[in-house]
Structure formats: structure tokens, C-alpha cells
Amino acid sequence: MKRQLHLNLFIQSRGHHEASWRHPDSSALALTDIEYFRDLARRAETGLFDSIFLADQLALADTVAHAASTWLEPITALAAIAGSTQRIGLIATASTTYSEPFNLARQFGSLDHISGGRVGWNIVTSWLAPAARNFGGAGLVSHDERYERGEEFVQVAKALWDSWADDAVLDDRASGHYARADRIRPINHEGKFYRVAGPLNMPRGPQGRPVFVQAGSSETGRRFAARHAEAVFTAQMEKSTAQEFYADLKKLAAAEGRPSEHVLILPGLSPVIASTETEARRLAQDLNELTDPEVGRKRLSGRFGGHDFSHLPLDQPLTPEDFPDPGTVQAARSRTEVIVGLVRREQFTLRQLLAYLAGARGHYTTAGTPEQIADLIEEWFEDGAADGFNLMPPLLPSMLDMFVAEVVPILQKRGLFRTEYEGTTLRDHFGLPRPGTSSS
């Protein structure tokens, strides 16, 4: 069978364009209304998407006065969505820095049971400085220590998910044997950051473990992804850098002894779609006109560890010297490097940079007809830039609907995308193996 494309719907605000929440085409529902999320999940399932994804940050953004930057907590939201969907995968973000492995392993295990094996875990180490202040931290843990802790956290969580063999439950009423005690084992983990005895207090889920998703792009982040991730979300501003990233991560995964097809690379893609290119460009322009440069300025500051950009004029070309050295920013380091590189190359003014980032925060944005979007997808997919896409519709639900109604059929016609779900779990959709346990 021909290699198949994978599609994930990234749900955020009323769309990924910063101004989506103000646009008349975006949903009228409140962002605290679970029906908004359920409805989007069902629409994505109609389009046979592999999964939906909820990002997360553990602090309120300082842009809340002028940006719709609130959402429901991902694990609870996906548990609620599970009952309104049958097949689509459900990927929740959760932090290795600010949660306990035992709690997280239980909640994801429970979610895997609840959803019939559809859960994925987007593993983040939480770079946002304000998050630390909600968790007792005086200062932010360093980039390297976050990953060191994350590494150990993943080991512990894996061991907990594997602490029950798949055949441990007997539930034999006649004999009174509920479980085979010798198939449930303590993990007795004693490491630098965690001491966890185990076993987990729950039988193993349908998928064994949730699908591991990761989005770190720094060198440390890539090594982490190469070891653990089964799907990788990545922000790429052009095809050539996406190809470099793709080749690098597949190589790193191979060096870890992992088959390259077990690490799916899914770049972000935020397409404005309309029946003509002119119309698509006009819609993109409408969205840009709804943005507030002061919201963008604050967000930029947040990305650069709180650096003050307030003195910079909006309409003068920027230079790399206007930014702090990315190496000194304890944050999403690779993204800051990309932004500084972009400023150097494009000679953007601050206004232009903010408009660029307003589209999808540094992910790939484009505007075109369904045919043009399908061409782009096919090209990246065939040219070693992507195994599929993390779709970030600029407006929700309208741009998702356009994609499902107009782009998906083209991809299907070209034999690139499924015409029905072939399995029931997220592992099935992604073509990933189900992990065994040491005892099975």
C-alpha cells in the first residue's frame, strides 16, 4: 500500500490566527463551552483525521485583555470529547516539570480506557516562566534540567504503564481470582528526581501506553524526540528547513535504533482556503486587519523570556541586535532562533514581524484554493519534509470545514489519505506498534 498521510487537528482559541476570535466566521460558542470542542472533534472525525490535539500552558497569558487566550484543561476536555467521538485520536499536552508521574500515568491510562485506546500524550517540559510561579518555583528550572527531569519522568511513566501485563486481569467470578498477582509488578524506581514504588493501580490500557508526541526543536529537544516521540509537531517556515529537520530527526531516531516510520514528522500548517486565491488572500488580509500590534508585542516579549520590546518603533526595519541572544533565553529556544533568523533574512519591520507571527505563531501559513493546498501538502509529503500535518486552521470551524469538504477529497483521490478508518486506536491510525511489557 502507498505510504499514507497523517492529519492532526490542533484546536486553539477560535482558530490559530491571533484575531480569529473577533472574526464573524469563527464560532459563536464560548471558549469554556465543551460543545465547542466536541463539535470540532466530530467535524475532524468526519474528515477522517488521525487525531485532535490540545496544547497547554500553565499560566494565564498577559494578553488576556485583548486576546481570547483561555481554554479548558486538556485531560478533562478530552475525556469529555471521547464520548462524542468513536475513532479519532485524542492528544493532550501535559508537563513533566509540574506534574507527578503517578498522577499523570493514571490519568492517561484512564483516558486510554475511556476512549478505547485513542489517547496521545504531548510531552512538554514547560518553558513558560510564569508557570514556575504557579508551582512554588522561585525561578525557572534551566533548559537542560527540564529535559533531564523529563527524561526520568518518561522512564517512570513508561514503567508504570508496563507494570501490569496485558493478561493480568482474570476477573474470574467462579474461582474468586480477580488478577494474577505475578503479572503485576512494582517498579521500585529510585532516581535523581523521582522515587516511585508502583505498580500503577489500574490495568493496562488498550494501547499499552499513550502515543508519545513531542514538539521540542532544540538540540536537546530533538534528542529527546528521537528517543521517545512517535509523532513530532514542528514549526517550519519553509519547505527547505522542514526537509532538514525531517532528515535530521529520522537520522537521530535511527541512531537510537528506532525504525524511521515509527517517528512521524508533522509540521504545522495554517492555510486560509477559499475557492479563488484572491478570495483567500482577502480573507487573510481581513484577519490581519483585526490584529492588535500591542498583543503581538506582548507575545513576542513572552517568547523571549520577558524581554522588553516596548521601545521599538513599529515601522522601522528590525536588526538581530533588537533581540536578546537566544542562547541566554530559558524558553522555547529553537523558536526564538528561528525568529531572529527570519528578521535577519527578511529585514522585517516590527509590524511586519508581528503580522507574520499573528498568522500561526511561526508555523507555516499560506492562502490558496483547495487544489493549491493539496498540492503543497503532496509536495512536502513526497519531498521528505513531512509525514503529514498538524493542521492549524486560522479560523474555526470555517477553515476546518473547508479543509474537510474540499481538500480531503483531493488528497483521497490522489491516494494519499484514507477513505475510511481502518483501525480503532490512535496507534492503528498512525501505523505504530503496540508496545509490549517486559513480562509479556
Residues 151-210 that bind a second copy (CB under 8 A): 169, 171, 173-174, 176-181, 184, 194-203, 205
CB of 413 to a second copy, least distance (A): 35
Residues 184 and 165: beta-carbon distance below 8 Å: yes
**Cβ 56 to a second copy shortest distance, Å:** 9
| Amino acid letter, 426 | L
Smallest gap from Cβ 278 to a second copy, in A, equals 25
At residue 35, what is the residue type? E
Nearer to a second copy, 38 or 282 (CB): 38
Cα–Cα nearest to 363, from 405, 332, 407 = 332
Place of cell 521601545: 311
Decide if residue 53 touches a second copy (CB under 8 A): no
Choice between 203 and 435, CB closer to a second copy? 203
For a second copy, the binding residues in 63-122 under the rule CB under 8 A are 64-73, 75-77, 79-80, 82-84, 98-100, 102-103, 106-107, 109-111, 113-114
Subset of 340-379 contacting a second copy (CB under 8 A): none
Query: Within 13 A of 272's CA, how many CA atoms are on the CB side?
Result: 21
Considering the complex, state which of residue 68 and residue 357 has its C-beta at the smaller distance from a second copy: 68
Least distance to a second copy, CB of residue 21, Å: 7
Nearer to a second copy (CB atom), residue 197 or residue 254: 197
- Residues facing 11 on adjacent strands: 54
Please report how close the Cβ of residue 138 comes to a second copy at its closest, in angstroms. 8
Nearer to a second copy, 169 or 312 (CB): 169
Classify residue 335 by its DSSP letter. Answer: H
Closest CA to 193 of 125, 112, 280: 125
350-375: string of b/e by CB count within 10 Å (b at 16+)?
bbbbbbbbbbbbbbbbbbbbbebbbe
Q: Which is nearer to a second copy, 166 or 248 (CB)?
A: 166
Stretch that binds a second copy, among 51-59, 210-218, 325-333, 425-433 (CB under 8 A): 51-59
Q: Which is nearer to a second copy, 31 or 314 (CB)?
A: 31
Smallest distance, a second copy to C-beta of residue 436, A: 19
Q: Number of residues in contact with a second copy, rule: CB under 8 A?
A: 76
244-303: contacts with a second copy (CB under 8 A): 290, 292
Q: For residue 91, give the nearest of 32, 167, 6 by alpha carbon.
A: 6
Among 7, 41, 48, 58, binds a second copy (CB under 8 A): 58
Amino acid at 378: E
Site for a second copy in 21-50 (CB under 8 A): 21-24, 30-34, 38
From CA 152, how far away is CA 155, in angstroms rounded?
5
State the nearest-atom distance from the C-beta of 285 to a second copy, in Å: 17
CB of 190 to a second copy, least distance (A): 10
Secondary structure of residue 391 in the 3-state scheme: strand
Q: How far is the CB of 25 from a second copy (least distance, A)?
A: 11
Q: Where are the beta strands (DSSP E) in 39-108?
A: 51-54, 89-95
Kindly state whether residue 129 participates in binding a second copy, applying the rule CB under 8 A: no
CA–CA distance, 265 with 250 (Å, rounded to integer): 9
Q: Residue 318 and residue 146: Cα distance in Å, rounded?
A: 32
- CB neighbours (10 Å) of residue 248? 15
Q: Which is nearer to a second copy, 175 or 257 (CB)?
A: 175
Cα-Cα-Cα-Cα dihedral of 43, 45, 47, 48, to 10°? 170
